[in-house]
Amino acid sequence: MIDKFVPSMAAAMEGIGDSATVLLGGFADVGIPRALLAGLVDTGAHDLTIVAVAGGREGSANERLLSLGRVRKLICTFVRPASIAARLFQRGELELEIIPQGTLAERLRAAGAGIPAFYTPTGADTLLAEGRETREINGRLCLLEYPLRGDVALLEAWRADRWGNLVYREAQQNFNPVMAMAADLAIAQTYHTAELGELEPNVIDTPGVFVQRVLHVPEGEIHG
Amino acid sequence: MAELAIKPLGREAMAERVARDIPEGWLVNLGIGIPTLIADFVPEDREVLFHSENGIIGMGKAPPKEQINPFLINASSQHVTLRQGGSYIHHADSFAIARGGHLDLCVLGAFEVSDSGDIANWARSADEPVKQVGGAMDLAIGTKRLWVVMEHTTKEGAPRLVQRCSYPLTAKRVVKRVYTNLAVLDVEPRGFVVRDMLPGLSFEALQAHTDARLHQA
């Protein structure tokens, strides 16, 4: 019997080692796997590469991970000038790779879809293209981009079944589905569980084949 | 620089002016700042579809406080609603909309726009240690039309409509129209063409507040 539900945070985090590349789902306050992130902090793993839309809001677990010095490199689309990430970067204690948001999504998708590289006009005429391979395609300057793969993805879903099928609500999906595809070990926390067969096949957003572990976190947070 | 005898438009009035030119049926993305205000001036019965980068097609107005849904925010982290017929998508599909030429219009703010349509809106200098890219570059290269809404000059009076941008570029040769607090200008092969000006403002006075050469329509 396939059962991807794990009984504890320890089981969810098992095997995440130092130097792992971790994809973090979520956008602003929505779709963020807060409990899993707190679990990642507790593993003590360090020299991590974190891939997320932004550098971590004040009081977030991502920010805590940064402030504890566990992150070697942050790949994201923006960092607030007053944030911990910005301060660490300016002190030379954090590598920072700032990339356009669509390029981030597409590099993740490419990793999940087996696309070895792609060209995009996004950023081709900008500072971000300095020293990198460009090529004119159909009269337009384009920039070569490579896939962005993770060892681990941390995701948040609304409902999940034991095969790892995921359903999101409203704007909760954001980066979660592409990150699920792009990681070797995709771990989802879910508000609700469903029996196998209960989720309507046509509305499953992330098929369980992209998900390895599911942790039931009823309120989206760890309690007790 | 000469003082203006007339009162420039405020933020809301600029947003209202842009909203007037958005026809029914368009799929539109609005950037943060003044562009976000534009949606409030598009009447409900004019069916314009607003796209938000975090995965919303058919975004509606802000809900009353008691109807806030914590799972439903826009790219500026504001609480929003979904219009009937709207849908939710993931980030890669959302940026496929932006990059794949599916947006009829994107309206962004900017620091500077050049008369060849270059836009600078993401960094104040190449030496800025920490930069914020976000989704502006993807939107700028991918949309069918890019309009910019911004003040005609900086607070210090320096022109923002320039021959060559001094700030780092977001994208080259992409801006089609600029709405400022003084005028509406199209970007054409010959440069900025003035389509509309505040009443009482002369072409010469507008030129005096502009670095790039202006053309009469």
Specify the pTM.
Answer: 0.95
- Structural domain includes residue B6: no
Measured CA distances, A74 to A24, A49, B178 (Å) = 11, 6, 35
- Structural domain includes residue B4: no
Q: Does A78 contact B123 at a Cβ distance shorter than 8 Å?
A: no
Task: Flag whether residue B61 sits within 8 Å of chain A, measured between CB atoms.
Answer: no
Q: Inform me whether the pLDDT recorded for A220 exceeds 80.
A: no
What is the distance in angstroms between the Cα of A221 and the nearest Cα belonging to chain B? Answer: 15
Active site residues of B: 53
The whole domain housing B120 covers: 11-216
Task: Flag whether residue B132 sits within 8 Å of chain A, measured between CB atoms.
Answer: yes
Q: Tens of pLDDT along A146-164? A: 999 999 999 999 999 999 9
Give residue B3's pLDDT band: very low, low, confident or very high (50, 70, 90).
low
Task: Flag whether residue B71 sits within 8 Å of chain A, measured between CB atoms.
Answer: yes
A56-65, B41-50, B142-151: least confidently modelled range = A56-65
Report the residue from B73, B99, B129 with minimal CB separation from A120.
B99
- Tokens found for residue A163: 């095969």
Q: What is the ipTM of this complex?
A: 0.93
Q: Inform me whether the pLDDT recorded for B2 exceeds 70.
A: no
Q: What is the DSSP letter of A196?
A: T
CATH code of the region A9-216: 3.40.1080.10
Structural domain count, chain B? 1
Q: Does A86 contact B69 at a Cβ distance shorter than 8 Å?
A: no
Q: What are phi and psi of B35, to 5 degrees?
A: -55, -35
Give residue A75's pLDDT band: very low, low, confident or very high (50, 70, 90).
very high
Per-residue confidence (pLDDT) for residue A182, from 0 to 100: 98
Per-residue confidence (pLDDT) for residue A224, from 0 to 100: 35
Q: Inform me whether the pLDDT recorded for B192 exceeds 70.
A: yes
Average pLDDT score over residue span B79-108: 97
Measured CA distances, B85 to A65, B56, B57, B81 (Å) = 40, 11, 9, 12
Kindly compute the dihedral angle of the four CA atoms of residues A30, A35, A40, A42, in this order, to the nearest 10 degrees: 140
Q: Inform me whether the pLDDT recorded for A137 exceeds 90.
A: yes
pLDDT above 90 as % of chain B: 91
Residue B33 CA to chain centroid, in angstroms?
9
Residue A5 CA to chain centroid, in angstroms?
20
In the predicted model, what is the mean pLDDT of chain A? 95
- With CA atoms as reference, report the closest residue to A153 among A120, A119, A177: A177
Average pLDDT score over residue span A1-7: 97
Give the CATH number for residue B21: 3.40.1080.10
In the predicted model, what is the mean pLDDT of chain B? 95
- Structural domain includes residue B153: yes
pLDDT above 70 as % of chain A: 98
Residue whose entry in the numeric block shows the structure tokens 């943060």: B32
* Chain A / chain B CB contacts < 8 angstroms: 136
Residue A191 CA to residue A218 CA, distance in Å, equals 4
Q: Tens of pLDDT along B113-146? A: 999 999 999 988 888 877 789 999 999 999 999 9
Per-residue confidence (pLDDT) for residue A223, from 0 to 100: 42
Q: Inform me whether the pLDDT recorded for B63 exceeds 90.
A: yes
**Closest chain A residue to B132, measured at CA:** A78
- Structural domain includes residue B29: yes
What is the distance in angstroms between the Cα of B199 and the nearest Cα belonging to chain A? Answer: 38
Task: Give pairs for B30-33: CB < 8 Å, separation 24+.
Answer: B30/B106, B30/B107, B31/B106, B31/B107, B31/B108, B31/B109, B31/B121, B31/B136, B31/B139, B32/B75, B32/B76, B32/B109, B33/B109
Residue to substitute from A119, A143, A168, A174, interface B, most B β-carbons within 10 A = A174
- Of chain B, the end-to-end C-alpha distance in Å amounts to 25
pLDDT above 70 as % of chain B: 99
Q: What is the DSSP letter of B87?
A: E
- Structural domain includes residue B163: yes
Per-residue confidence (pLDDT) for residue B125, from 0 to 100: 84
Measured CA distances, B216 to B152, B180, B184, B204 (Å) = 17, 16, 12, 11
Q: Tens of pLDDT along A7-42? A: 999 999 999 999 999 999 999 889 999 999 999 999
Per-residue confidence (pLDDT) for residue B1, from 0 to 100: 53
Report the residue from B71, B138, B168 with minimal CB separation from A102.
B138
- Structural domain includes residue B182: yes
- Structural domain includes residue B84: yes
- Tokens found for residue A45: 């793993």
Residue A57 CA to residue A223 CA, distance in Å, equals 21
Consecutive H or E run containing B32: none
Q: Does B137 contact A172 at a Cβ distance shorter than 8 Å?
A: no
Q: Inform me whether the pLDDT recorded for B79 exceeds 90.
A: yes
Task: Flag whether residue B2 sits within 8 Å of chain A, measured between CB atoms.
Answer: no
Per-residue confidence (pLDDT) for residue A221, from 0 to 100: 62
Q: Specify whether the CB–CB gap between B133 and A77 falls below 8 A.
A: yes
- Structural domain includes residue B1: no
Q: What are phi and psi of B140, to 5 degrees?
A: -65, -40
